[in-house]
Amino acid sequence: MDQDALGPVEGPLMRARLHIRSGKRRLREGKVSAGIVTLYDSLLCGLEAYVARDENKKKLVINEGENLKDEKTVFAVLRRSGALDDTLNFNEFERLVERALYEEVQVDWRELLVRLERVFTQLGVMPFDEGALPPEKPGEF
């Protein structure tokens, strides 16, 4: 997939959806750390797609000097602007991802997935038709 060819909204949106699908599969397979890291990438892509939409940009409450290329800043701006609720603590999730990069973590991934799916819905990433996505190649991981 050429994400750049899809454009600044559709490219990250497609990547987010592909990684939601594969992240969920990894969780179900017991590859919890890999699933969490994959879902984190989905979240970052979802944030990128959200702020790339012109109609969303107009609604954002952005303080002077805030960098919308920084995911923590984007998450805070979206919370402040009312686009996201308090379903997910971004800093806590980021700490979990940091651990998951270096070790197999033991967490209640089902509850985390429920919270992430709520955020993905608020960002407009979900729901989506998995049948519309390119076929998965799970053997590559």
**Low-confidence residues of the chain: pLDDT under 50:** none
Query: How much is the pLDDT for 67?
Result: 92
Query: How much is the pLDDT for 116?
Result: 97
**Its pTM surpasses 0.85:** yes
Query: How much is the pLDDT for 128?
Result: 84
Report the distance separating Cα 137 and Cα 141, nearest Å.
8
Query: How much is the pLDDT for 130?
Result: 83
Helix (H, G, I), strand (E, B) or coil at 108: coil
Q: Where are the domains of the chain?
A: 3-131
Say how many C-beta atoms besides its own lie within 10 A of residue 66's C-beta: 14
Kindly list the distances between the CA atom of residue 93 and the CA atoms of 18, 31, 89, 135, in Å, as whole numbers in the listed order.
20, 17, 6, 29
